[in-house]
Amino acid sequence: EMIAATNFIRNMIIQQREAGQQQKVITRFPPEPNGFLHIGHAKSICLNFGIAKEFGGDCHLRFDDTNPEKESQAFIDAIKEDVNWLGFEWTGEVRFASDYFEQLFDWAVDLINNGKAYVCELNAEQMREYRGTLTEPGTNSPFRERSIEENLAEFNKMRAGDYPNGAKVLRAKIDMTAPNINLRDPILYRIRHQEHHQTGNKWCIYPSYDFTHGQSDAIEGISHSLCTLEFEDHRPLYEWFLNNLPVPTKPVQTEFARLNINYTVTSKRKLKLLVDEGVVKGWDDPRMPTISGLRRRGYTPKSLRDFCDMIGVNRSGGVVDIGMLHFALRSDLEHSAKRAMLVLNPIKVVITNWEEGREEMLSSPSHPAREELGERTLPFTKELYIDSNDFMEEPPKKFFRLAPGQEVRLRNAWVIRCDEVIKDAAGNIIELRCSHDPDTLGKNPEGRKVKGVIHWVSATHGLPAEVRLYDNLFQVESPDSDKDVDFLEHLSADSLSVVEAIAEPSLATAQAEDRFQFERVGYFCADRYDHQPGTKLVFNRTVSLKDTWAK
């Protein structure tokens, strides 16, 4: 069993309940539909949906769609699919922050009417200058003291489309000298003549993230608004809006640390760059740390959920070792993946003391510990393939596999001995002539010990398979930690290699996304898109086995 680490938010809710605060737990997962979800989002999904489930509450899926130029329906569809695939169902319909645009507009008008918002015409550069710095207070905008009437007229003209992009913004009137820069008259609305995937051309002004997020939480009655630590500095503003607007409920924001994993990047902007630059074949390329990439690679939903339990939820950052993700994955696949044999680097073996045309249909359990998964048939024939790495012409002392004059067991079959090595004119080994000991099926050979066991496939019945061997995209632990070096410089040159392998015949019926442990080779998954049962076998290497076979 996987050990779950501390989840301070869960503990907080338990304490709240013990203190008699029995309010219903309502959380939300609020992605912006400007890219695919990544493994970092999985942490947020498991947290929000997990908490709701545990405490008998609800979890909403809400798209934070306030930047239409970067967003799309395709991203919305992909995100919904990923959340479901991870094993979660949101409560009610999918929600959109854009559902609340009319209400947000009315609330902006309320702020103007209360003298708490104004239309500002400073350009971006001036705005920066007036804002001040961490050590210097800001300066009031010259537009700050406009009359309520003028502000209302201007804001309505902004909405009516009377001004070009960037000409004016609506700002909250809070405090230009506040130590927290987010409170220095933040922007509430900007002009964007841009069609929106949900609202079409209804709007040419769009609310800022800060003006949208907390109020959307309030409209939905969110009890616990969970977000990552970079929003900690926004919390006073989040609360300012809730305290200065007639919102129906007052959600409470709690921040937790983002998930970072070594040897990869978890930033949508950087992942988008990998896609746009053609480094990978798309957002769901099996090398991507996106949920759909991990899925295509062969990760199980359970392994990702277990991983999120293992890392826990806390307020201090840090980088999680990718080995932990692999551990969660192997732990699940060890139990769930069927076994099969596949030879990656085939070399032919001819069994000289096997009659021409004779076929034995051997069988083997699909899983060593799970009888209910049934058996598969392994035809044994005169010509077989083994992996060329399992043969050495001049082996070192502890090489327990095949070598001239040396015996090895073929897994689930007989013990064979290599009698002769056949080479071509150039000296390359093209065939191994071996003899089998007919008295070794399911029993030890008489009078000697054979330590090694290797995998094999019948040359007559084996099926060609395309195997995609994936490795880390980056060759360094923290590709994006050095501000002076572009993270793309750290890409690994061999994150993908494609080989033609020979698969055992039972794999003809493998369906797309079926997962296997190819014995002694690793865990693999039939490619979600390119694999065609019976016609074109394509397997992605999900993760290697632990080195338990290395001797």
Q: Shortest Cβ distance from residue 270 to Mg ion (Å)?
A: 10
Do residues 465 and 279 lie in contact, with contact meaning Cβ atoms separated by under 8 Å? no
Does residue 41 interact with ligand ATP by CB under 6 A? yes
For residue 100, the SS3 value is helix
Query: Residue 58: which residues within 8 A CB-CB, separation 6 or more?
Result: 24, 25, 26, 27, 52, 91, 92
**Contacted by 267, from Mg ion, ligand ATP, none: CB < 5 to 8 Å by type:** ligand ATP
**Contacted by 41, from ligand ATP, Mg ion, none: CB < 5 to 8 Å by type:** ligand ATP
Residues found in the chain:
551
Active-site position among 70, 258, 348, 417: 258
Nearer to Mg ion, 32 or 81 (CB): 32
In the numeric block, which tokens belong to residue 110?
A: 């309320």
Number of residues that bind ligand ATP (CB under 6 A): 15
Query: Residue 243: which residues within 8 A CB-CB, separation 6 or more?
Result: none
Instruction: Report which residue type is found at 239.
Output: E
Q: Shortest Cβ distance from residue 263 to ligand ATP (Å)?
A: 15
Does residue 32 interact with ligand ATP by CB under 6 A? yes
**CA distance readout (Å), 385 to 356, 435, 457, 504:** 16, 14, 5, 10
Establish whether 423 is an annotated binding residue.
no
Does residue 30 interact with ligand ATP by CB under 6 A? yes
Active-site position among 32, 359, 383, 466: 32
* CB hemisphere CA count around 341 (13 angstroms): 29
Stretch that binds ligand ATP, among 266-274, 326-334, 339-347, 356-364 (CB under 6 A): 266-274
- 270 in catalytic set: no
Active-site position among 173, 268, 302, 520: 268
Q: Of 80, 197, 258, 348, which lies in the binding site for ligand ATP, with binding defined by CB under 6 A?
A: 258
Establish whether 493 is an annotated binding residue.
no
**Contacted by 383, from Mg ion, ligand ATP, none: CB < 5 to 8 Å by type:** none
End-to-end Cα distance, the chain: 28
- 277 in catalytic set: no
Nearer to Mg ion, 32 or 477 (CB): 32
Instruction: Report which residue type is found at 119.
Output: V
Nearer to ligand ATP, 66 or 435 (CB): 66
Q: Shortest Cβ distance from residue 308 to ligand ATP (Å)?
A: 9
- 409 in catalytic set: no
Does residue 403 interact with ligand ATP by CB under 6 A? no
List, as own/partner pairs, every contact residues 328-331 make where C-beta atoms lie below 8 angstroms and the sequence separation is at least 24, other chains included. 328/2, 328/303, 328/304, 329/299, 329/300, 329/303, 329/523, 329/542, 329/543, 330/523, 330/543, 330/545, 330/546, 331/2, 331/303, 331/306
Q: What is the dihedral of CA 381, 383, 385, 389, to 10 degrees?
A: 120
DSSP character at residue 328: H
Q: Of 7, 141, 266, 366, which lies in the binding site for ligand ATP, with binding defined by CB under 6 A?
A: 266
| Interaction residues for ligand ATP, span 307-346 (CB under 6 A) | none
Does residue 40 interact with ligand ATP by CB under 6 A? yes
Stretch that binds ligand ATP, among 29-37, 138-146, 325-333, 429-437 (CB under 6 A): 29-37
Does residue 525 interact with ligand ATP by CB under 6 A? no
In the numeric block, which tokens belong to residue 91?
A: 């409560």
Q: Of 9, 169, 205, 227, which lies in the binding site for ligand ATP, with binding defined by CB under 6 A?
A: 227
Angle, helices 148-160/101-113, rounded to nearest 10 degrees: 160
Do residues 60 and 90 lie in contact, with contact meaning Cβ atoms separated by under 8 Å? yes
Residues at the annotated binding site for L-glutamine?
A: 64, 209
Residues forming the active site:
32, 258, 268
Residues near ligand ATP, by CB under 6 A: 30-32, 40-41, 43-44, 64, 227-228, 258-259, 266-268
